[in-house]
Amino acid sequence: MFYINILLQLLFPDSPKNVKISVLPSGKIQEGNSLTLICESNANPAVTNYSWFMIKEAYVSYIGSDREFSIKSASQKDDGQYFCTAKNDMGSQNSTVTALKVEVASNRNFFLTAAAVFLFLMAVLLLVMFGLIIRRRKQFTSKKQPTELSKTHLQSLSQRRSMRT
């Protein structure tokens, strides 16, 4: 005798449940990076309509109608709270609100690099100036000594001439 086990799963029509937002990529959102918000839910029948909304400064704005909402280049204007609505023939449900905070690219690294380059150039400039001053002093000293010797030599020659006469 053969026995057959049959799993009978009855699916009752129902409105979307467990509606939530996934953010890709996950983690911190850097200014200029792209990101995608995905509206996910369990529904029978399947979701036929998605709507996206943004809450900013107490205003709710409709922003899209696909399962996914993409931002090509994130900026501070994208800061806010987002939620989606999933709808099928049996009803609709909103997701929980997801807050997005776009981190502005730090100018600190730029300023540190600029300061380091400035200090390096100033050090090189000071070394060059110091070297030129030393070189000029050596040249002045070496030119001065023969001149003094020449004057001394001329004086001694003139004294010799005056002694002869």
The backbone torsions φ and ψ at residue 123, rounded to the nearest 5 degrees and listed phi first, read -65, -45
Cα(165)–Cα(146) distance, rounded to whole angstroms?
28
pTM for the complete prediction?
A: 0.59
Split at pLDDT 50, 70, 90, the class of 83 is very high
The pLDDT tens digits of the residues spanning 9-35 come to 456 789 999 999 999 998 889 999 999
Is it the case that residue 85 has pLDDT exceeding 80? yes
Kindly state the tokens that stand for 29. 């959102």
Q: Is the pLDDT of residue 141 over 80?
A: no
CA distance 163 to 18: 123
Report the CATH superfamily, name and number, of domain 14-103. Immunoglobulins (2.60.40.10)
3-state secondary structure of 154: helix
Give residue 65's pLDDT: 95
Q: Over 80: is that where the pLDDT of 98 sits?
A: yes
| Residue 112 CA neighbour count, 13 Å, CB half | 4
Q: Tell me the per-residue pLDDT of 103-124, one tens digit each, with 9 for 90 and over.
A: 987 665 667 777 778 888 888 8
Q: Phi then psi for 23, rounded to 5 degrees?
A: -110, 125
Domain layout of the chain by residue ranges: 14-103, 108-165
Using alpha carbons, select from 22, 119, 34 the residue that is nearest to residue 72: 34
